[in-house]
A and B are shown apart, each in its own frame.
Chain A
Amino acid sequence: MAKVKSLEDLKKLKTQLENNLNLREKSDNPDGYVQVKVAMATCGIAAGARDVMNRFIEKANEEKVDLIVTQTGCMGYCYAEPTAEVKLPGKDPIVFGYLNPQKVDEIIDKYIKNGELIEGIIPVNYQTIDKDNI
C-alpha cells in the first residue's frame, strides 16, 4: 500500500479501498459482523493487550475477514489477561483468555472462520435452568 502522509493522500487511497470493501450492505447492520472486544484496562494493557489487538487487525486484513475490533474495559478476569470477547453473528459471545498473537491467529483461523471451539475459553455465561419451564 502506498504511503499516506497527508489528508490528500488519504482521500486518494480511500477510493481504491472502497472498491475492495463491501461496506454499504453491512454498515447499517453491526450484528452482521464478527465483533471482537479486547479488554484494555490497566491490567490488560500491562499484560500485552495491544499486541493482541494489533494482531487481530493485521490478521483480519491478511485473511480478508471483516471484523469490528474494539477495546473494552476490565471484565474482571485480570488473572487471565490479555482477554478478548469474540461474538459471531447470531451466537453468544465467548471470552478467550491468556492471549498472545499466535493465539489470535488460531482464533481467526479456527473459531471465526470455521466456528471450531479452541482451548482457552473462560466460562462466563452461566445460565440457570428456568424452573417454570420444566
Chain B
Amino acid sequence: MKDLSLHILDIVQNSISAKATLIEIEVNEQPNNDTLTITITDNGKGMTPEQVIKVTDPYFTSRTSRKVGLGIPLFKQNAEQSGGKLSIISTIDVGTQIIAQFGYSHIDRPALGNIANAISLLVMSNPAIDFIYTHTINKESYLFDTREVKEILGDTPINNTQVVKMVEGMIAENINDLQQNSNK
C-alpha cells in the first residue's frame, strides 16, 4: 500500500463484509506527541477472541476465493515499522474496533494520501451504509457524517457520480483548512 488512505479503503472492506451499517473512521494527528492514530469502528457481526488473534496471521482469511488475507497484516506491519502498534477489540454481535498507531515523524510512516477521495469512494460504493469521518489535528477537528448529507440530498442518490465529486471536494476543503490552521 502506497499510503494510509489506501489502507483505510482496504480495512473498511472488512467492516462491510461483516455487514456493518455504521462505520466510524477517525484520523487523529498529534504532532506534539509524535503520533498519528487511525481508528475504524463498526457495528458489524464482530469476531470471537480466537478470530481476533488469527486475523493478523497472513494465512488466515474468512473468504473462500483465496487462501491468504493480507489487509490487516500489511496495516500492522506499516504501523510497527514506524514505531507504532495495531490493536483490535471485537465483540460478537456488537462490532469491531481496529486501532493503528503510527510514529508521526518516523521516516517509515507512509503519507496519509488522498483521504477525501478514499472516504468518498467508500460512501459511493455503499449507499446503504452510514459513515462518520473525523479528522483531528492537535485540538481542531472536522466531522463528516453521511446521515447529514443524505438528509440534505433527499431523493438525489448519494452514489451519483457528480454528487460524489462534490462530497469529495467538501471533505478535501475542510481537511485542507484544518492543516492550514494547525500550521499557524
Contact = CB atoms under 8 A, between A and B. Distances in A.
A69 B170 contact: no
B141 interface: no
A49 to B, nearest CB: 9
A134 B155 CA distance: 49
Nearest to B124: A69
B71 A42 contact: yes
Interface string A95-125: 0000000000000000000000000000000
B74 A42 contact: yes
Interface centre among A46, A75, A78 (most CB of B within 10 A): A46
Interface in B37-67: 63, 65-66
Interface of B is mostly: helix
Contact of B71 (A4, A41, A50, A58): A41
A131 interface: no
B164 interface: yes
B156 A71 contact: no
User: What's the interface size class on B, roughly?
Assistant: 35 or more
Interface in A1-41: 1, 3-7, 9-11, 13-14, 17-18, 20-21, 23-24, 27, 40-41
A94 interface: no
B10 A45 contact: yes
Given A10-B152, A42-B10, A70-B159, A50 B169 contact: no
A9 B172 CA distance: 14
A14 B152 contact: yes
B161 A4 contact: no
A60 to B, nearest CB: 5
Contact of A50 (B69, B118, B162): B118
B65 A45 contact: no
A17 B169 contact: no
B30 to A, nearest CB: 25
Interface of A: 1, 3-7, 9-11, 13-14, 17-18, 20-21, 23-24, 27, 40-43, 45-46, 50, 53-54, 57-58, 60-61, 67-71, 73-76, 78
Given A6-B170, A10-B170, A17-B162, 4 more contacts: A21-B162, A45-B6, A58-B165, A61-B162
22 contacts: A1-B169, A4-B166, A4-B167, A5-B173, A5-B174, A7-B148, A10-B167, A21-B162, A23-B157, A27-B155, A41-B10, A42-B70, A42-B71, A45-B1, A45-B10, A50-B6, A50-B117, A50-B121, A57-B165, A61-B165, A69-B159, A76-B66
